[in-house]
Structure 1
Amino acid sequence: MLHSTVNQLFEQLVTCEQFLDSCGELMWRDKLREALIVDAAGNEALDLDLLLSYFSQGEAFFELELSSDLGHRVSETTETGANSHLVTLRLDIYYLAQRCRDESNQSIVIISSSL
């Protein structure tokens, strides 16, 4: 069960990173990549505490809005759809990360063995 949740979370993170990259939102793309780590044994892992910290008021990933006025690669016609997609990705990532932490009782989960 946990491996499935970790795999889903990893897939959503990759999708979100690619989406942010395509929109020109490099700061949050890079922050999401920081949650992917290599543990002492050389396994790829996700730092759930770091990832979940991005959803706290201090980091405000929940407040990110894509806008051409802010230099993002979206137009007036695509801005609403892009922001709607971002909201869905963010919620998926948040809830999957919470579920991973609840299921594992750990702040770091291995993804190499779950792919």
Structure 2
Amino acid sequence: MDDLTALPVLAALSQATRLETFRLLVSREPDGVPAGELAREIGVPQNTLSTHLAILANAGLVHGARHSRSIIYRADVECLRQLVLFLLKDCCGGRPELCAPLIADLSPCCPPEAHAHD
């Protein structure tokens, strides 16, 4: 990700309803959330949410897929990963102790899978 790619992603997340929607979708990975349920959970009319989802989709943050009569929305976790890496790429300037607290804060949430050794 570069500046030109990151700016629309950050702009899409800079509005409260869109940020809340994206965070909810991330929390529901990998299943996603039907559009109607998403609107109810966020507490906005479906047409308003549709506008927000279009902005998030144009930024590459969400994708919708039709399942029967519903559209299921999912967060694009790869886009999130790329954004976080872009923001933190040069975070420590060669001083890993500056990034260590950030990594430690993420570890309880997302510990690496333990590999069994023979």
Band the TM-score falls in, shorter-chain normalisation: 0.3 to 0.5
Q: What TM-score, normalized to structure 1?
A: 0.39
Q: What TM-score, normalized to structure 2?
A: 0.38
> Which is greater in Rg?
2
Q: Which of structures 1 and 2 has the larger relative contact order (alpha carbons within 8 angstroms, sep 6+)?
A: 1
